[in-house]
Amino acid sequence: MSYLSINKLPQLRQHPNLVVPEASLFDLPEKVLQFGTGVLLRGLPDYLIDKANRQGVFNGRIVVVKSTDSGDSAAFDEQDGLYTLCVRGIENNELVEENIICSAISRVLSAKSQWEAILECAKNPELQIILSNTTEVGIQLVQDDISDTPPTSFPGKLLAFLYARFKAFGGSQESGLVIVPTELIPDNGTKLESIVIELAHRNGLESGFFDWLESANHFCNSLVDRIVPGKPDADTCQALYDELGYEDKLLTLSEVFRLWAIEGDEHVKQVLSFATTDDGIFIEPDINLFRELKLRLLNGTHTLSCGLAYLAGYDTVISAMQDEIMASFIGNLMLAELGLAIPYPMDDKRPQRFGMQVIDRFRNPHLNHQWLSITLNYTSKMKMRNVATLLRYYEIFDCVPQYFSLGFAAYLYFMKPVAKEGFVYFGERNGVPYPIQDEKAEYFYQKWQQYDTAELVEKVLQDKTLWDTDLSLLPGFTQSIIDNLENMLENGVKQSLESFFLRHPSQVAETNEIL
C-alpha cells in the first residue's frame, strides 16, 4: 500500500467516504506563514483554511515554519504537504465521520537550516497572515538578536521576519500583516505584540519600523478549542489505511467541535475571509465571552463532575455519559445552574447553545478522556472555574444550586487522603488507591485528621486562602454540602447520586428531553 501524495489523488477522487482536493488548489498563492507543525494547527486553522479554499473563498496556501529541533518534517515533504484529517464525533445528536485530505500546506521550512528561505517569504506581496502555536512557553521575552540565523525565540524569529518585510516593501501600509497566535494563554496577541516591540527596542531598530509595526500590522488575541488527539493507535491506523486505500504518516484524528474566536475589526475580517465558511470561527471586537463560556461551562462542568463521576465508578467521560443518571447530573449542572449564572453579560440563549455543543463533545465515543486526569490541580481549578459562577448564582437566585453542591461535596470526598507514599497522598475508591495530584493534598490530609465531617466542611468553606471569599456565608450552602458529603460517606457515592435524583425527579426528565 502506497503513501499519500499528489500523484495518488486522481485514483482517490472516486472514493465515496473521502474528500479529495482538486488539482487547481495546488496552484493557489502562499498567503499564510505559520510557526508550528503540531496537530492542533493541522486540525483547526489549517483545516479551516483548507475548507475555505475548497469553497473558492480564501484561495491561499500556508508556508509552515518548523521552529524547533524536535520532530521531523520529512513526512510533509514525502507527502507533498498533504495529510488526512479524520473527524469523529457527535454534532446535533448526529454521529459524524468525515475523512478529508487537506491540501492547504504548500511546504514546510526548517528555521534551523532554511532561515534565509523563510526570510525570503517576507518579500511575497500575496502574504497576508501569520499564525502560530509554539506552546505556551513560546510567547516569552528572552534576550534575542534578530541578526542570528535564526534568532532563538519565536518572538525573535517573528520580529526578524517582520523587519525583513518592512525593508522589502519600504514600510508601506499595504504590506502589514494580520498576526494571530493560537497559544493557550489569555491575551496572546497583546502579549506577543508587547514582546516584539520590546525586542525591537533592544535590537535598536529605527523609529520608522516602530511606526509601521504598530500602524500597519494587527496582532489579534485568539482562543482555540478543538480536541485533536493526533495519530491514533496502530490498529486504528491500519483500519483507516485499509478503508482509505493508502497510508499516511501525518494522519490526524479530531473531534467535530471547533472554535476559533479572534479579536479583530473589519480589516481583520476582510483579511481572514476564510472565517465566512465555517460557523466555528468568530471574529469580534471582544472574545472574552467565548473564554467565559469555555471556562464556566466546559471546564467548570468537568471540575464539578470529575470527583463525583470517578468515585461513582466511571473512569472516562464517555462511560459517565452512557449512564442515564450521571449524564442527567452533568446536563442539569451545566444547563440549569452554571449556564444561568455565568458572570459575564451575554445573550441568554448563548450558554444553552454552547452547553449543548459541550454535551455532544462529552458524548463523543471516539474520545477516551480520563476523569482522574481532570482531577489534576483540583482545588485551584475549582476556585478559578466555579467560585465566581457560584457567587453569581446566589446574586440571581439567592438559593443553593443543588447540582453544584453535590459536585462540591464529591470534591471534598475525593480530597480525603487515606495514605501517603513519599510526597504523594492517596485516596481510595472501592478499596483501590488513587493519587491526589493537588498542591493542597497535605492541607486536606490535616483537615480530615482534625475534624468531623460537618466541621471540615465549615473550615474549608470559610478559608479565604482557598477561595478569596467566605463561602460559608452563602445561605444554606454549608448545610447542603454537609448533607451530601455525609450521605456519600455513609452510603457510597453511586447510591448517593441515585438518591439525589429521587429528590429531584423532574430534573432528570428535563435533562433527558434536552439530551
Per-residue pLDDT tens digits for 287-304: 999 999 999 999 999 999
β strands within 124-195, DSSP E: 129-132, 178-181
* pLDDT for position 502: 87
Euclidean distance between the first and final Cα of the chain, in Å? Answer: 43
Nearest C-alpha neighbor of 20 from the set 111, 85, 110: 85
**Domain 288-514, classified CATH 1.10.1040.10, yes or no:** yes
Q: Could you give the CA distance from residue 139 to residue 155 in angstroms, rounded to a whole number?
A: 7
Domain boundaries, the chain: 6-284, 288-514
77-109: buried (b, 16+ CB within 10 Å) or exposed (e) per residue? Answer: eebbbbbbbbbbbbeeeeebeebbbbbbbbbbb
Cβ proximity of 226 and 40 under 8 Å = yes
* pLDDT for position 72: 62
For the chain, which residues score pLDDT lower than 70? Answer: 69-72, 136, 505-515
Cβ proximity of 170 and 122 under 8 Å = no
Amino acid residing at 476: G
* pLDDT for position 67: 83
The β-bridge partners of 33 are: 63, 130
At which residue does the C-alpha cell 460537618 appear?
454
3-state secondary structure of 222: strand
The C-alpha cell at 190 is: 497583546
* pLDDT for position 137: 79
Q: Could you give the CA distance from residue 220 to residue 115 in angstroms, rounded to a whole number?
A: 25
* pLDDT for position 70: 60
Size of the chain in residues: 515
> CA distances (Å), 146 to each of 36, 110, 151, in order?
19, 17, 5
3-state secondary structure of 140: coil
* pLDDT for position 457: 98
Q: Could you give the CA distance from residue 463 to residue 54 in angstroms, rounded to a whole number?
A: 56
**Domain 6-284, CATH homologous superfamily name and number:** NAD(P)-binding Rossmann-like Domain (3.40.50.720)
Taking the alpha carbons of 364, 370, 376, 378 in that order, is the dihedral positive or negative?
positive
Q: Could you give the CA distance from residue 137 to residue 128 in angstroms, rounded to a whole number?
A: 25
